[in-house]
């Protein structure tokens, strides 16, 4: 995630797109598509691990309202995308909540240093369009060695987290 640029992680957008696809499938006026969806749901209920519905159910596992999403999924109802968006953002921000308040100099985790030195303050969970300002180091004319070291730090942060 490029938190200093106020970007969401790719998984956030993928999950949201998968739920939009589900909602369109449920609302479809095609009998064939509805039959395929119901067959996939029955496969998921029977314990098959390679069906799409089962994979979605497993992905809802650690969300705050995961039980609601799973029951809607297996009852072939539309999922509330606005509540899901809030739950997904809350789950993705867990690493930053853990890093908050820790001293970056004494911690061995690079995510703590990234959170304290580079990242913008998190946007509110309920407002995805909150304005943000780029951090000063992205606007400065830094030498190539400093820019390279910052890039290395950022890349190594995500490899080790």
What is the model's pLDDT at position 78?
A: 92
What is the model's pLDDT at position 158?
A: 47
- Does 79 fall in a domain? yes
* pTM strictly above 0.85: no
Mark whether 145 and 82 lie in a shared domain. Answer: no
What is the model's pLDDT at position 20?
A: 92
**Residue 147: which domain range?**
98-160
| 78-102: pLDDT as tens digits | 999 888 888 888 887 777 777 777 8
* Beta carbons of 114 and 1 less than 8 angstroms apart: no
CB atoms within 10 A of CB 43: 16
Pick the last residue of a domain from 91, 110, 131.
91
Pick the last residue of a domain from 75, 91, 107.
91
Mark whether 83 and 151 lie in a shared domain. Answer: no
Q: How far, in whole angstroms, is CA 18 from its chain's centroid?
A: 12
Task: Give 36-43's long-range contacts (Cβ < 8 A, gap of 24+).
Answer: 37/76, 38/76, 41/73, 41/74, 41/76
Pick the last residue of a domain from 55, 72, 91.
91
Q: How far is CA 131 from CA 1, 64, 87, 120, 123, in A?
A: 18, 26, 21, 11, 8
Please tell me the distance from the alpha carbon of residue 161 to that of residue 159, in angstroms, as a whole number: 6
Mark whether 103 and 77 lie in a shared domain. Answer: no
Mark whether 84 and 116 lie in a shared domain. Answer: no
Mark whether 69 and 86 lie in a shared domain. Answer: yes
- Does 4 fall in a domain? no
- Residue 77 or residue 161, greater confidence: 77
Mark whether 14 and 84 lie in a shared domain. Answer: yes
DSSP state of 63: S
User: What is the average pLDDT across 121-150?
Assistant: 64
* Beta carbons of 127 and 85 less than 8 angstroms apart: no
* Number of domain units in the chain: 2
Please tell me the distance from the alpha carbon of residue 7 to that of residue 39, in angstroms, as a whole number: 37
């Amino acid at each position: 995630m490029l938190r200093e640029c106020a970007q969401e992680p790719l998984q956030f957008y993928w999950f949201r797109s998968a739920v939009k696809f589900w909602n369109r499938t449920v609302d479809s006026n095609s009998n064939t598509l509805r039959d395929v969806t119901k067959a996939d749901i029955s496969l998921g209920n029977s314990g098959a691990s390679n069906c799409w519905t089962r994979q979605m159910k497993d992905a809802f596992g650690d969300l705050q309202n995961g039980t609601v999403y799973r029951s809607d999924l297996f009852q072939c109802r539309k999922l509330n995308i606005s509540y899901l968006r809030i739950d997904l953002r809350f789950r993705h921000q867990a690493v930053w909540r853990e890093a908050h308040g820790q001293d970056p100099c004494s911690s061995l985790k690079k995510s703590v240093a990234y959170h304290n030195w580079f990242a913008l303050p998190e946007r509110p969970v309920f407002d995805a369009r909150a304005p943000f300002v780029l951090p000063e180091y992205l606007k400065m004319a830094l030498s190539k060695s400093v820019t390279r070291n910052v890039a290395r730090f950022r890349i190594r942060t995500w490899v080790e987290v």
